[in-house]
Amino acid sequence: MFMSDIRVAGTGLTAFGNAPERTGRDLFAEASIAAFEDSGVPREDVDAVFYGNFMGELAEHQGHQGPLMAEAAGVDAPATRYEAACASSGVAVRDAVVRIRSGAADVVLVGGVERMTNLGTAGATEALAIAADELWEVRAGMTFPGAYALMAQAYFTEYGGEHEDLAHIAVKNHENALPNDNAQYQNAIEVSDVLEAPQVSSPLGLYDSCPISDGAAAVVLTSAAYAEAHGLEAPVAITGSGQGGDRFALHDRDYLARSPAAREAGEEAYADAGVDAGDVDVAEVHDCFTIAEVLAIEALGLEPVGKGITAARDGRTTAEGETPINLSGGLKAKGHPVGATGASQIAEITTLLAGTHPNSESVDDATIGVTHNAGGTVASAVVHVLEVVA
């Protein structure tokens, strides 16, 4: 374990869902208020604000959002916006960890926001597409459902599997979301619902895809020394952090059925924390599409390559399984306001390990959790290891 672990002093989330009338600053203010109330850290102690957002210029005609969101949070500190597509706030968390470890900060407010539903389905789809290669993918008509469908087809060709295997992932994550009041979809579905849903891009259908979402997440991170000096109740620490990358466009990749960026990020995070995949009790992974969960758990070493496709179907990653995945409901059912997702995963694992999450009873003995946040078709990936330390 790194000598100076980073304590998660407080977390705050808005509900994820359809809120086109709310602004990004309104959403971030709500999440930040909750995080500060949970932490007990005074705003004047914040040394920096690290903020993730992807499409603010398109959704709200608003750039330079870092200081804007610091103001919304009631914080007078330097603020920086991070953009890494759907991994934006995951990268922000990673840089906050680095900043605190370096000794340059003791307290960082880190989080993210996305406002998407006001664009409508067509507008949000077009905005999301700029995370792909404009010259060689977008102009050819590539969309992210199409890109992940190609990845699913490549997986089936190389390792086997079928749409019904993916359907079990969707069913599992909807089941996990039922008690989560922040989730966009709190409704159970059956395998037949997934298989009979309208097709989006073969083999993926409507229920294989995460929704368009509005929402915000915020976490207050502190040094261990600050937490101890101020008597904070912060039993969960970020002990490992890693980041990986891959070629931007799918046609330049060595693999379509694997996620090298996530593998690199996971290996770095595990080494940083002094753990390995076998130590992980619970994980929140980036399931923007059902096939993405398969690629993520294999990249993280939670399932052997080629075997993750049956993990949900066989019960290994369900709430009752050996390694529960996406107990929040994941992006699939909890929702995916892209700039907020990485920070929200930190909040979910923190509360799961601390015993305050509605699904904590599924992992009541858990001491180590992992978050996996991906950008685009996983050209960017960020992984964090969280541990109970007190």
Q: Look at residue 5 in the predicted model and tell me its pLDDT.
A: 86
- Positions in the chain whose pLDDT score sits under 50: 1-3
Number of domains in the chain: 1
Q: What is the pLDDT of residues 54-93, one digit of tens each?
A: 999 999 999 999 999 999 999 999 999 999 999 999 999 9
Q: Is 384 an annotated catalytic residue?
A: no
Q: Would residue 199 count as lying in a domain?
A: no
State the catalytic residue, choosing from 286, 336, 372, 384: 336
Residue 250, classified by CB atoms within 10 Å of its CB into exposed (0-12), middle (13-18) or buried (19+), is buried
Spatial CA neighbour of 15 closest among 209, 180, 219, 128: 180
Q: Would residue 379 count as lying in a domain?
A: yes
User: What is the number of other CB atoms lying within 10 angstroms of the CB of residue 4?
Assistant: 15
Q: Which two tokens stand for residue 235?
A: 């039993």
Q: Would residue 169 count as lying in a domain?
A: no
Task: Give the containing element (helix H, strand E) for 120.
Answer: helix 120-128
Strands 199-201 and 204-205: antiparallel
CB 98 within 8 A of CB 132: no
- The boundaries of the domain holding residue 28 are 6-119+211-388
Q: Look at residue 1 in the predicted model and tell me its pLDDT.
A: 38
Q: Would residue 162 count as lying in a domain?
A: no
Q: Look at residue 3 in the predicted model and tell me its pLDDT.
A: 44
Q: Would residue 304 count as lying in a domain?
A: yes
Tell me which residue has tokens 């509605």.
358
- For every residue of 305-329, DSSP letters joined together read TTTGGGTTTTTTTSTTSSS-B-TT-
Per-residue buried b or exposed e for 17-40, using 16+ beta carbons within 10 Å of the residue's own CB: bbbeebbbbebbbbbbebbbebbe
Q: Look at residue 4 in the predicted model and tell me its pLDDT.
A: 63
Rounded Cα distance between 317 and 121, Å, is 31
Q: For the domain that residue 240 is a member of, what is the CATH number?
A: 3.40.47.10
Residue 154, classified by CB atoms within 10 Å of its CB into exposed (0-12), middle (13-18) or buried (19+), is middle
Q: Would residue 125 count as lying in a domain?
A: no
Q: What is the DSSP letter of 176?
A: H
Spatial CA neighbour of 269 closest among 13, 10, 52, 6: 6
Q: Is 336 an annotated catalytic residue?
A: yes
Q: Would residue 375 count as lying in a domain?
A: yes
Q: Which two tokens stand for residue 148?
A: 């992940």
DSSP β-bridge partners for residue 201: 204
